[in-house]
Amino acid sequence: MKTIIGNWKMNVGARESVALARGVLLALRGRRHLPEVVVCPPFTALTETRKTVGRTHVALGAQDVHWEETGAFTGEISPRMLVETGVSHVLIGHSERRRLFGETDETVGKKTAAALAHGLVPVVCVGETAEERDAGQTEAVVLRQLAAAFSAMPARGAERVFVAYEPVWAIGTGAAATPADAAAVHAAIRAAFRASVKGGDRTKLSVLYGGSADPSNAYAFLRETEIDGLLVGGASVKLQQFTDMIAAAADVLEGIAAAPASV
Ligand code: PGA
């Protein structure tokens, strides 16, 4: 299977989220093999977007979650609240949260465990900075983040998690990793998950790539067997670009050769 996740960040309100979701649903019509599609609007747009995508092929994701169920945590949203709103997936440890909002390996671990305990699919984001890459530390950094994220894995959670490999230097910069480099990191993530995460040895972990993925490179990423899908930021709020990427995933699933790049 291939999965395309749109991370709409703080870029769209409820009205725009609904319009995007409707456009995605229209674009999926008539395809034989559909990728799994997840859209992650801001919290305030979840309820309205749910009305559009509920009972369709498109799943609803949130961009963050707190690890406690209730309590005095002003401004936070709990896993139970997400479930109540019809959310099935949640991004955890996005590099913007790590870099700008004090997210740590430890809080990523707590959030991942809490999400799993509530039946949500955590999409755990990992990735190295440019300095770390230049120092040859990509694998060490990514595997450290991975180990922390899954340190409190409940007994039966491994089969439901996604990992998104998003090099920090590639996010929003237009400078994507090469499919081959991303595939190599994905293989290392998969091996470490299998070897060290509870239940990981019985799981075929889904590993997505993110960081300047767009219609011009989507097919090249998606045809790699190590790459189970894409986590898309900027291109996911441009309907034509996002649906072109979903179509590229459908092409890969249907064994259709690459269409000419449209960007
Ligand atoms: P980008 O963002 O596609 O705009 O690089 C990806 C992400 O932040 O998840």
Question: Is the Cβ–Cβ distance between 162 and 120 less than 8 Å?
Answer: no
51 located within any domain: yes
Ligand 1 closest atom vs CA 95: 8
Q: Which residue type occupies 44?
A: T
The pLDDT, as a whole number, for residue 259 is 57
Asked if the structure places residue 26 within a domain, the reply is: yes
Identify whether 166 is a catalytic site residue: yes
How confident is the model over 58-69, as pLDDT tens digits?
A: 999 999 999 999
211 lines ligand 1 (CB under 6 A): yes
SS3 category, 104: coil
Beta strands in the chain (DSSP E): 3-7, 36-40, 58-62, 89-92, 121-126, 162-165, 206-210, 229-232
Active site residue 89: no
Catalytic hit among 36, 66, 89, 94? 94
pLDDT reported for residue 81: 98
- In this structure, is residue 228 part of a structural domain? yes
The answer to whether residue 14 is domain-embedded is yes
What confidence score (pLDDT) does residue 150 get? 92
Going from the Cα of 258 to the center of ligand 1, the distance in angstroms, rounded, reads 22
Number of compact structural domains in the chain? 1
Query: Is 247 inside any structural domain?
Result: yes
- The four Cα atoms 231, 100, 239, 55 give a dihedral, to 10 degrees, of 60
The answer to whether 125 and 166 have CB atoms below 8 angstroms apart is: yes
Tell which residue, 113, 227, 223, 215, has the closest CA to residue 166: 227
What size, in residues, is the chain? 263
Q: Which of 4, 40, 99, 231 best tests ligand 1's pocket when mutated (most atoms within 8 Å of CB)?
A: 231
Reported as a pLDDT band with limits 50, 70 and 90, residue 257 is low
Q: What is the per-residue pLDDT for 32?
A: 83
Q: Model confidence over 118-153: pLDDT tens digits? A: 999 999 999 999 999 999 999 999 999 999 999 988
Tell me whether residue 194 is in a domain.
yes
Residue with tokens 């050769």: 257
Taking only the tens place, the pLDDT of each residue in 146-182 is: 999 999 888 778 888 999 999 999 999 999 999 999 9
Within-domain flag for 263: no
Query: Residue 42: which CATH number?
Result: 3.20.20.70
Query: Cα–Cα distances in Å, from 9 out to 5, 120, 122, 135, 209?
Result: 12, 19, 17, 30, 17
Specify whether the backbone of 157 is left (phi greater than 0), alpha (psi in -120 to 50) or beta.
alpha
Whether residue 263 is predicted with pLDDT greater than 90 in this model: the reply is: no
pLDDT of the residue at 51:
97
- For residue range 32-64, list pLDDT tens digits in order: 889 999 999 999 999 999 999 999 999 999 999
Give residue 203's pLDDT: 82
Spell out where 8-57 has E strands. Answer: 36-40
Alpha carbon nearest to ligand 1 atom 1, residue: 233
pLDDT tens for residues 191-217? 999 998 888 888 889 999 999 999 999
Q: Residue 152's pLDDT is what?
A: 86
Distance 16 CA to ligand 1 centre (A): 18
- Burial (0-12, 13-18, 19+ Cβ within 10 Å), 83: middle
Please indicate whether residue 171, judged by its CB atom, sits closer than 6 Å to ligand 1.
yes
CA of 232 to the centre of ligand 1 (A): 5
The answer to whether residue 260 scores a pLDDT higher than 60 is: no
What tokens were used for 244?
């072109």
Give the domain extent around 106: 3-258
